[in-house]
């Protein structure tokens, strides 16, 4: 099989510390200062990527994973020719479409129909190709009756669906997808993931997929590349690399508090605080028999009352999704602009020992539309019960669940 992507020692440097001069005056002042004083204020180089090399065979589906700021998007931007590397090179065989966000170039004043053509062309499709697939795109989006309405009248859900539908009908040889599935309605996300899966398995497309959603990654890809602080630290079978990634959270995050000015969030949600702790103790050591209390405090920024739910995905150190918990199963509250706190208690004696990560924290509107997703919010170890009262010392983790209190009977029959 031949290669689709060959990357040779790509590095990308950003200059920080010194502000790049963006006005004539700054530029002049800078020139003059350099002339008289020699080198000016020391420039700090920040290497977003360092010496990345790998190759991808045609038809492979490869995940790029890593923490926020590790350099995944920088890599994708270089491979899709949005920015240039500082050094190194890459060769790409085939037509590339890259999806760094959905709906790039959508214009609010234009109708859905016009935006399909514009967005398609921006993503590299010919007009004739779009025309051919137009009906399929509209059907996939499921917004037939609004197709001639300006998209500024769309709900955010409709907007995302239309944008995804265009992307879904891209037919490049190589598809590069950044974390675009982080927003949108959950049902529709699944539809898109399925579409991507067919694209690779049945149509032999090469896919590079950046995501925090370890479940999607493991479902979709055979191979994963792990990037940490700009370096490629692992490349191989998806299960192995995902587990290495989840293990890399050496500094467990039992508690996170954000300054409102720098808090993660968007125009809808601002995440302020997250923590995990045993219910009846102050310290942070968690044992298998502890009831665990998870707390998420956030600010809802929407002035319009909305039905809001908080959902989190808990993943173990091997990347197995252990549970999805949500207020949507039990609550039906409507809120407007305020600070809210969600509390969930996971009863003791369910989770086995191990390292767990709140891998996805979702804020969901009207049970369907994801307003904001935060990744790797919390990470914590659950330790085996310290007492040896079982008669043997628990060593290796035995199973995903830890249920010492099953109702057993053992009697002659």
Partner 1 sequence: MKTVISAKQRGLGLNLPELFRYRDLLFLLAYRDYRVRYAQTLLGFAWAFVQPLLTLIVFILVFNKAARVETGDIPYPVFVMTGMWAWSYLSFVLTQAGQSLVTSSHLITKVYFPRLLIPLGKSLVAFIDFSVTFLFLVFLMILYRYVPSGNIITLPFWIIALVALSLAAGIWLSALTIRFRDVQLVIPFLVQMGLYFSPVAYPSSRIPEQYHGLFYLNPMASVIDGFRWALLGTPLPDTGYLVYSFGFILILVISSIYFFKRTERIVADII
Contact (CB, 8 A) for 225 and 54: yes
Nearer to partner 1, 122 or 383 (CB): 122
**For partner 1, which stretch binds (CB under 8 A), given 37-45, 121-129, 138-146, 383-391?**
121-129
Nearer to partner 1, 82 or 390 (CB): 82
Shortest gap between Cβ of 8 and partner 1 (angstroms)?
9
Rounded Cα distance between 140 and 124, Å, is: 20
Nearer to partner 1, 26 or 398 (CB): 26
Does 139 contact partner 1 by CB under 8 A?
no
Other C-beta atoms closer than 10 Å to the C-beta of 104 total: 16
Please state, in angstroms and as integers, the Cα–Cα distance from residue 59 to each residue in 81, 125, 210, 219, 221, following that order: 21, 21, 17, 16, 11
Helix (H, G, I), strand (E, B) or coil at 5: strand
**For partner 1, which stretch binds (CB under 8 A), given 34-42, 117-125, 226-234, 350-358?**
117-125
Which residues are CB-contacts of 336 (< 8 A; sequence separation ≥ 6)?
A: 300, 302, 303, 304, 305, 306
Which of 51, 55, 134, 150 forms a contact with partner 1 (CB under 8 A)?
150
Does 23 contact partner 1 by CB under 8 A?
yes
Residues 24-53 that bind partner 1 (CB under 8 A): 24-25, 27
User: Within its chain, how far is the Cα of 118 from the centroid?
Assistant: 27
Shortest gap between Cβ of 166 and partner 1 (angstroms)?
12
Does 84 contact partner 1 by CB under 8 A?
yes
Place of tokens 């001069």: 21
Nearer to partner 1, 14 or 273 (CB): 14
Nearer to partner 1, 86 or 285 (CB): 86
Which of 50, 72, 77, 360 forms a contact with partner 1 (CB under 8 A)?
77
Shortest gap between Cβ of 200 and partner 1 (angstroms)?
19
Helix axes 156-168, 186-201, angle to 10 degrees: 0
**For partner 1, which stretch binds (CB under 8 A), given 82-90, 206-214, 247-255, 319-327?**
82-90
Rounded Cα distance between 70 and 41, Å, is: 27
| 286 token code pair | 């968690």
Please state, in angstroms and as integers, the Cα–Cα distance from residue 188 to each residue in 39, 184, 199, following that order: 54, 7, 17
Does 89 contact partner 1 by CB under 8 A?
yes
Residues lying near partner 1 in the complex (CB under 8 A): 14, 20, 22-25, 27, 77-96, 98, 100-101, 104-105, 107, 109-110, 114, 117-118, 121-124, 126-127, 150
């Amino acid at each position: 099989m031949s290669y689709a992507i060959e990357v040779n020692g790509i590095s990308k440097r950003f200059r920080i510390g010194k502000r790049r001069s963006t006005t004539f005056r700054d530029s002049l002042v800078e020139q003059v200062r350099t002339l008289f004083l020699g080198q000016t204020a020391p420039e700090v180089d920040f290497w977003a990527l360092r010496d990345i090399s790998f190759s991808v065979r045609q038809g492979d589906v490869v995940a790029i994973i890593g923490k926020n700021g590790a350099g995944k998007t920088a890599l994708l931007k270089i491979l899709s020719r949005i920015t240039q590397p500082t050094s190194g090179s890459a060769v790409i065989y085939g037509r590339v479409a890259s999806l760094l966000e959905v709906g790039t170039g959508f214009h609010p004043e234009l109708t859905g129909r016009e935006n399909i053509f514009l967005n398609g062309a921006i993503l590299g499709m010919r007009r004739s190709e779009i025309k051919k697939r137009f009906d399929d795109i509209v059907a996939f989006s499921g917004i037939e009756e609004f197709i001639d309405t300006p998209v500024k009248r769309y709900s955010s859900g409709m907007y995302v669906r239309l944008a995804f539908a265009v992307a879904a009908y891209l037919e490049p040889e190589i598809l590069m997808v950044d974390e675009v599935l982080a927003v949108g309605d959950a049902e529709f996300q699944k539809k898109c993931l399925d579409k991507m899966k067919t694209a690779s398995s049945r149509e032999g497309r090469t896919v590079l997929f950046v995501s925090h959603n370890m479940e999607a990654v493991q479902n979709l890809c055979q191979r994963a590349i792990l990037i940490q602080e700009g370096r490629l630290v692992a490349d191989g079978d998806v299960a192995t690399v995902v587990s290495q990634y989840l293990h890399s959270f050496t500094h467990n995050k039992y508690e996170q508090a954000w300054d409102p000015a720098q808090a993660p969030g968007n125009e809808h949600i601002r995440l302020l605080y997250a923590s995990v702790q045993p219910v009846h103790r102050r310290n942070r050591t968690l044992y298998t028999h502890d009831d665990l209390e998870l707390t998420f405090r956030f600010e809802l920024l929407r002035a319009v009352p909305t039905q809001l739910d908080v959902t989190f995905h808990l993943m173990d150190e091997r990347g197995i999704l252990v549970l999805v918990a949500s207020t949507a199963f039990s609550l039906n509250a409507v809120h407007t602009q305020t600070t809210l706190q969600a509390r969930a208690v996971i009863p003791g004696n369910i989770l086995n020992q191990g390292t767990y990560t709140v891998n996805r924290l979702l804020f969901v509107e009207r049970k369907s539309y994801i307003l904001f997703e935060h990744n790797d919010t919390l990470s914590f170890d659950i330790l085996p019960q310290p007492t040896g009262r079982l008669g043997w010392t628990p060593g290796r983790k035995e199973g995903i669940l830890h249920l010492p209190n099953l109702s057993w009977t053992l009697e002659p029959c």
